[in-house]
Structure 1
């Protein structure tokens, strides 16, 4: 028995958001289009009276929402082509190029920008393998980029065969309900009937999670504007961390500091094995950890917030990693809908990879 994905709008297999999410132009945009091209304005406007408020989410933020790629199973006469990804060569699946999905209920992918392996368009489904290998598995290109990053982090390689197997499992109604698919954040707003629901407050679900307007510029500004001659701020990096006065009080009554005899190299090694909250607690117990090495905060971003991969492109000489850590930890969703969606999709991709690991070990039935 197929799940409801079979009977409603085609959706990204990774983030489960429809390819046909719409946006209502603002009055200013309508006036501008009226002045330039009435036909183009009509194409922008909603057809069924529904869409996200354009004053809340911009066209740039929603870039790619109706674009898809597919996985297809290789035919018996499959021949590798120049430009194939490494993970395609050894798998039973291959990737199509990009296409713009043209309708909410149709099974057609739309025409791909270029022909790959003789495929110019495909039938798409979110259901299990009952349709056969010639039916493509659709996903947003940006969501697939996040899936690849999670795969490399968790598995060491991109497992598209595993993604195909998980689709077959997640397409079964009984299994998908048991493993929380689709995720609650989407299920609440899109799965009570066959259409996507543009409910206020859920605009972030349609925001591009990779190409996020303003985010790279914000990081560059934080990096470039730092005065490297000033003393960096190395406050404890986690919620509930002690203040300077609390730390001093605890240390003066705690007796001998057992860490004071350790060399700096070993102290650093200890820090690298702890979470931010553990580091904060350690600073309560030991004066030896009052000053933290700046690079530690970059390490914490990588380990605790791996979805902020842009930090690797920042100038290490001009970046206050402690300030950046605190900004990302507390204010990452402020005004940047794509970042909120990126974190959501990253966690969904982690669940998919966990399922892939289970199928690889024969644990999923």
Structure 2
């Protein structure tokens, strides 16, 4: 078969997303489609240096870090951009032989190795994982982690500085056209958070020893025939076996999942799990609650099983950028970065909404271009008639009307609220309190690597606490709690400036990549809702 990708069944996007860092970002901001963090492609692999020069690309010349610039080998090491002062007992205290830990000659190497392993896993957790960066270390750290490098612009068809092309890392420029990874110039790490996280809907008959609530379960899982698996970073190719998930919920470490049942004669459809992004399933849950008053997992899987062929999956109506990218290896087209932006946690959106919450006075801009023809007739209409007219129009017609007469310049806040609700049904921050009861799933707030790290840390601390005869359960939950998500931000229908919300979202649409992706996924899930009703 060769390399063959499995996609999110709800939105059609690959889990095997690659990224290339921009100058100033750490190495861990780059990874290939397997999740491996590496320097490829090198400059020797690009098609044309002249093209790179036109696109503003550069090369990175790296210099290895020494032991005194390493977070593991040097306890006093602090990144160059760190604002923290060293602790007094780290910097000023000189230990003598009485303070030092005594280790015999034979045991010193083993002790040192164990200590280095501890430091590596604690201070540099990213070293344990391929794929997305782990926690705040990856998403807030913008230095190169002690390793120095020189960034040289590509200016023509010759190698910059006469360096060997095999040791130069290609750094994409603002206009780079390489399609093997998304560029850090075009989308930030924070915006992409969770793009490689895959989860699966598994039939309870596949659970080892039967499925039981485990503290991470969703309320609907106790009553339905399906349950959520753990999560993984990226998905293995169809010819490479199944991906390992963390935790192994239902005792299942490697769910068998696909978009297609290739052997309907011998493989019951329920044996195959459904793959999706946790954020896509969250959007499904919201729409399901709105339309069915509950999370209709049985209806979802009934549709999946009814349309489970290659033709069914690939004929599902999706955005054009998704179809264009679904090649053997996901095609990372410049300009389509929004496809992998987190739709739930969107940078810049909270501040935009907070500004509308604080400024609840309508400050609609004055119209400067006014057509005099017909102006008097419009102004003579009673207020209730004018509002009735506006209530029947969409945003484009309202804009034209505001240009035609000053009497329509300052419209009531309720008009803009209607436009937001009608044109942006996916903006749940505008939903009324109590419209649906929903809190984002804990699976949406951690990447697969962060979940894996948490599980390993809980296992490690559990062993230590047990050896100390300490009650484990309560203390472990206090020290290393399972993930939880807070409620959505909500705007007050009466107090928010809805004109400002509408205009700011429209004006910043290109910057709000996650919101754009939310709209796309929302529309895909709307189609799923129609198909669920079809097979009900």
- TM-score (structure 2 length as normaliser): 0.53
2-structure distance, mates of 1:33, 1:25: 17
Whose radius of gyration is greater, 1 or 2? Answer: 2
Q: Distance in 1 between matches of 2:417 and 2:378?
A: 30
Runs (5+) with no aligned partner, structure 2: 28-59, 72-123, 132-168, 171-178, 431-488
Within 5 Å, which residues of 2 pair with 1:44-123? 50-75=180-205, 78=210, 81=213, 84-101=217-234, 103-105=236-238, 106-112=240-246, 114-123=247-256
Asked if 1:189 corresponds to 2:325, the answer is yes
For the residue of structure 2 that corresponds to 1:125, the secondary structure is: coil
Cα 1:185/1:24, change in 2 over 3 Å? same
- SS of 2:531's equivalent in the other structure is helix
For residues 28 and 166 of structure 1, do their structure 2 counterparts lie closer, same or farther at Cα, with a shift above 3 Å needed? same
Q: Report the Cα distance in structure 1 between the residues aligned to 2:495 and 2:290, rounded to whole angstroms.
A: 27
Rounded Cα–Cα distance in structure 1 between residues aligned with 2:407 and 2:23: 60
Evaluate the alpha carbon distance shift between residue 181 and residue 173 of structure 1 in structure 2; reply closer, same or farther with a 3 A threshold: farther
Aligned equivalent of 2:423, options 304, 312, 322: 304
Unaligned runs of 5+ in 1: 237-241, 361-365
> For 1:92 and 1:41, how far apart are their aligned partners in 2?
35
Q: Is the 8 A contact 1:170 1:181 kept in 2?
A: no
User: Which residue of structure 2 lines up, in the alignment, with residue 165 of structure 1?
Assistant: 302
SS at match of 1:65: coil
The answer for the alignment partner of 2:332 in structure 1 is 198
Structure 2 residue 354 is the aligned partner of structure 1 residue 220: yes
Deviates more, 1:86-95 or 1:133-142: 86-95
The answer as to 2:15 corresponding to 1:19 is: yes
Task: Indicate the residue corresponding to 2:343 in structure 1.
Answer: 209
Q: Give the 3 Å change call, closer, same or farther, for CA 350–291 of structure 1 in structure 2.
A: same
Contact 2:379 2:407 in 1 (8 A): no
2:283 matches 1:146: yes
Q: CA deviation at 1:211?
A: 1.8
SS in 2 for 1:322: helix
Cα RMSD after superposing both structures: 4.2
Q: TM-score, normalised by structure 1?
A: 0.74
Equivalents in 2 of 1:277, 1:34: separation in Å? 58
Q: C-alpha separation between the residues in 2 aligned to 1:145 and 1:314?
A: 20
Which residue number in structure 1 is paired with residue 54 of structure 2? Answer: none
Is the alpha carbon distance of 1:254 and 1:56 closer, same or farther for their aligned partners in structure 2, counting shifts above 3 Å?
Answer: closer
